[in-house]
Amino acid sequence: MIFGSHVSIRDGYLGAAKRAVANQASAFQYFPKNPRSLTIKEFNQEDAKSCKDFCLKHQLYSVAHTSYSTSITPSVEKHDLTIASLLNDLEITEACGSIGVVVLFGSQISKTDPLASYHLMLGILNCVLSKWKGSSLILLENNAGTKGALGTTLEELVQIRNLCEYPEKIGFCLDTCHAFASGLWNGENTEELIEKGKSLGYCEQLKVIHLNNSKYPTGFKKDRHANIFNSSNGYINADQLKHLVKSLVLAGIPLILETHDDEGISHRKEIEMLKQKWEKSILENF
């Protein structure tokens, strides 16, 4: 099983990879640049290559995540900057040897034209991917449904990929908290969700799973992550998460924690608990 967590790049990309190993992880996620800005980053190529070499040596998987400012339904003022920023993220991701860069699905931009957001998303993705020649992927992540966000169904995610001019450059990232928050997955409909994912071709293109509990009940559309085994403030039963992972995960898909590292349990401890409680029983299914 490939367990990991989000880590800081305050000590560079190589430093992030080393921190992941220190956490006993076999994967990690990172922000390629300032998580609150679309500013283009002139990154340290040598540091990125060292990160890639280190990951290869330690059989460590990595994935990047775009900044909080990134939206594939940007305002007119941020249209060109968003395209440039996404290309910059992909360039960094490629240099670090990462699977791809996670991008949240877009939001509703028009009250009168329900298709406007999807047209804009396709335009942004087509523009970015027409310029991108590397192997790192855009990984579309499902939304929690906060503030009218789209991308809460597998059909939307798959259809955008299918309609894009470069579907081979797009994969998916499933966030378990977002799925629970939106009502896509309520903890009890796992088999139904998996069957739909298989029939739509979603599971085939699933590259990363964000493994998060939820601080709110299903359907509340609140994007608030909780620790996996925290029964005091997590509404997803750990066994429900385990059942989803057992049903959904394919060999080689990293499971990345985006849980809190300062609420009584560290990422290192949480990864240790996942290995102890889940790994053997899940691997018995392969």
* Full 3-state SS string of the chain: CCEEEECCCCCHHHHHHHHHHHCCCCEEEECCCCCCCCCCCCCCHHHHHHHHHHHHHCCCEEEEECCCCCCCCCCHHHHHHHHHHHHHHHHHHHHCCCCEEEEECCECCCCCCCCHHHHHHHHHHHHHHHHCCCCCEEEEECCCCHHHECCCCHHHHHHHHHHCCCHHHEEEEEEHHHHHHHCCCCCCCHHHHHHHHHHHCCHHHEEEEEECEECCCCCCCCCCEECCCCCCCCCCCHHHHHHHHHHHCCCCCCEEECCCCCCCCCHHHHHHHHHHHHHHHHHCCC
Classify domain 3-283 at the CATH topology level. Answer: TIM Barrel (3.20.20)
Categorize the per-residue pLDDT at 283 as very low, low, confident or very high, splitting at 50, 70 and 90: low
Categorize the per-residue pLDDT at 263 as very low, low, confident or very high, splitting at 50, 70 and 90: confident
Per-residue confidence (pLDDT) for residue 46, from 0 to 100: 98
**How far, rounded to the nearest angstrom, does the alpha carbon of residue 104 sit from its chain's CA centroid?**
8
Per-residue confidence (pLDDT) for residue 61, from 0 to 100: 98
Whether the pLDDT of residue 147 is over 90: the answer is: no
Q: Read off the tokens for 7.
A: 């880590």
Whether the pLDDT of residue 280 is over 80: the answer is: no
Whether the pLDDT of residue 285 is over 70: the answer is: no
Per-residue confidence (pLDDT) for residue 262, from 0 to 100: 80
Q: Read off the tokens for 251.
A: 């060999």
Are 12 and 44 contacting, i.e. CB atoms less than 8 angstroms apart? yes
The pLDDT of 255-280, averaged and rounded, is 90
Whether the pLDDT of residue 181 is over 60: the answer is: yes
Residue spans of the domains in the chain: they are 3-283
The pLDDT of 61-74, averaged and rounded, is 96
Place of tokens 């629970």: 180
Q: Average pLDDT, whole number, for the chain?
A: 94
Per-residue confidence (pLDDT) for residue 252, from 0 to 100: 80
Say which residues have a Cβ less than 8 Å from residue 147's Cβ, sequence separation at least 6: 107
The pLDDT of 240-249, averaged and rounded, is 86
Categorize the per-residue pLDDT at 59 as very low, low, confident or very high, splitting at 50, 70 and 90: very high
The pLDDT of 74-103, averaged and rounded, is 98
Distances (CA, A) of 42 to 39, 48, 110, 149: 10, 12, 35, 31
Angle at Cα 195 formed by Cα 194 and Cα 197, nearest 5°?
60
- Give per-residue pLDDT as tens, 200-234: 999 999 999 999 999 999 999 999 999 998 767 89
Question: What predicted TM-score, i.e. pTM, was given to this entire model?
Answer: 0.96
Whether the pLDDT of residue 286 is over 60: the answer is: no
The pLDDT > 70 percentage for the chain reads 97
The pLDDT > 90 percentage for the chain reads 87
Say which residues have a Cβ less than 8 Å from residue 247's Cβ, sequence separation at least 6: 190, 191, 194
Distance in angstroms (rounded) separating the CA atoms of residues 247 and 190? 8
Dmax (CA) of the chain: 53
